[in-house]
Amino acid sequence: MGPAPGLYASDMARTFQTLLAGVKQEIREVSVDDVKRLLDARASVRLLDVREADEYAGGRLPGALHIPRGYLELRIESQVQRDEELVVYCAGGTRSALAAKTLKELGYERVASLAGGYNRWSDAALPVEKPFVLTAEQKERYRRHLSLPEVGEAGQAKLLQARVLLLGAGGLGSPAALYLAAAGVGTLGIVDSDVVDLSNLQRQVIHTRERQGQPKVASARAAIEALNPDVKVVGFEERLTSHNVLTILEGFDLVLDGGDNFPTRYLLNDACVMLGKPNVHGSIFRFEGQVTSFVPGQGPCYRCLYPAPPPPELAPSCAEAGVLGVLPGLIGLLQATEALKLILGQGAPLVGRLLTFDALGTRFQELKLRRDTQCPVCAPGATVELIDYERFCAAPTPA
């Protein structure tokens, strides 16, 4: 005859308590006051939330990384380095203690468990954050992103909260806008004063024949909203000038330069340097294209690459020189890729590197770019003055 149910449950409870007590002897526990002091001192410590998704959605410690306990062994190595200092927490301190022991076994030596967990932190009225949590529909839409450790739910939340400004809804802006929207970049700004023309449709894939004559901003908005309702489109049906550039760039995280003329490129570069905003540059000519990322403080700017514009007769527009229709698609998607990497903080962006593409030879080439120590815009101590560059870039007037 077996033991009484009540006795069996009591024995099991004692067994678990014995296990937990043994675990706590093997790990280090820290108090909520200890963690508060670390955060106030801006110490290099990573907070790791191992609660379930519904618990996490209710609030988290500031800046905490979320990996549910059931996925800890699977995901931790792709998101946390072994030499990082970690404080693990759950609701009350039990799951985090077990998680801390597991992490020690995986080689994470600088790990501690938060005694009392989130409940004690919250009861002490210490700061908490409301995390951005994906809806069920968003989890399904972005499922292929969520499967990537380099993206995951935290990365997708970054994309959905990101604000990217596209200069132009033309050859480069069209593919970039479509794929940034598909990826779930939450806000796309589009600057373009032009209307859709039949000759655009050979390469500007965001527009359609039915939308001829419409402003390109309106046409792009219609395509983006049909593709992904998560994305908000902010339109600017105007040319970029020294008077409006700072107002337009305000509130955006980074810029994709799809402009087709030198005055606008120089102006955009100067404004991005002034505001400290990354500028992903792309340009095309006939069968050739190039792309690079200008990140203020981390590498050269556009003026370092091109101190002065070429003579107008050596820099004809696409309308004058022509362009292979698929070329802006390739370069625009490279720009979109750079933007996603910058938002996610993953990979090696093209900072200090210029990637060129020759469509006829199907050849990529990479050139190293160096910062010009005498650059009038980004050199140390330089004073940026926004001007309209039409005269600077224009052909000299005949005498």
202 plus 279 within the same structural domain = yes
- Per-residue tokens: 113: 């468990």
Cα separations (Å) of 217 from 29, 159, 337?
Answer: 56, 22, 22
119 plus 175 within the same structural domain = no
> Domain of 107: which CATH number?
3.40.250.10
227 plus 361 within the same structural domain = yes
Task: Give the residue from 94, 123, 152 where a domain finishes.
Answer: 123
179 plus 325 within the same structural domain = yes
pLDDT higher than 90, residue 154: no
β-pairing, 187-191 with 254-257?
Answer: unpaired
170 plus 102 within the same structural domain = no
308 plus 228 within the same structural domain = yes
pLDDT of residue 397: 37
- Residue 151 included in any domain: no
- Residue 233 included in any domain: yes
Place of tokens 């690079």: 292
- Residue 157 included in any domain: no
68 plus 211 within the same structural domain = no
Residues 234, 191: contact at Cβ < 8 Å?
A: no
Q: What percentage of the chain carries pLDDT values higher than 90? A: 81
> Domain of 216: which CATH number?
3.40.50.720
- Residue 144 included in any domain: no
Degrees (nearest 5) of the Cα angle 188, 192, 194? 145
Task: Give the residue from 70, 100, 123 where a domain finishes.
Answer: 123
Q: pLDDT tens digit string along 344-354?
A: 999 999 999 99
- Residue 150 included in any domain: no
pLDDT higher than 80, residue 373: yes
177 plus 91 within the same structural domain = no
- Residue 128 included in any domain: no
Which of residues 314 and 230 earns the better pLDDT score? 230
Instruction: Read off the pLDDT band of 399 (50, 70, 90).
Output: very low
Q: pLDDT tens digit string along 301-330?
A: 999 998 887 666 555 555 667 899 999 999
Residues sharing a CB contact under 8 Å with residue 70, sequence separation 6 or more, in sequence order: none
- Residue 154 included in any domain: no
- Per-residue tokens: 57: 């959605």
pLDDT of residue 320: 66
Across the range 111-137, mean pLDDT stands at: 95
Task: Give the residue from 123, 152, 176 where a domain finishes.
Answer: 123
Residues spanned by the domain of 23:
5-123
- Residue 398 included in any domain: no
Cα separations (Å) of 189 from 121, 227, 234, 249, 394?
Answer: 40, 16, 5, 9, 29
CA distance 60 to 285: 50
Q: What is the mean pLDDT of the chain?
A: 91
pLDDT higher than 80, residue 379: yes
pLDDT of residue 14: 66
67 plus 194 within the same structural domain = no
Domain count across the chain: 2
pLDDT of residue 149: 85
Exposed (0-12), middle (13-18) or buried (19+): which is 324, by Cβ within 10 Å?
A: middle
Write the DSSP assignment of 82-104 as a string of letters.
TTSEEEEE-SSSHHHHHHHHHHH
Across the range 240-262, mean pLDDT stands at: 94
32 plus 108 within the same structural domain = yes
pLDDT of residue 395: 44
Instruction: Read off the pLDDT band of 12 (50, 70, 90).
Output: low
- Per-residue tokens: 53: 């998704």
317 plus 381 within the same structural domain = yes
316 plus 372 within the same structural domain = yes
Q: pLDDT tens digit string along 290-303?
A: 999 999 999 999 99
pLDDT of residue 5: 53
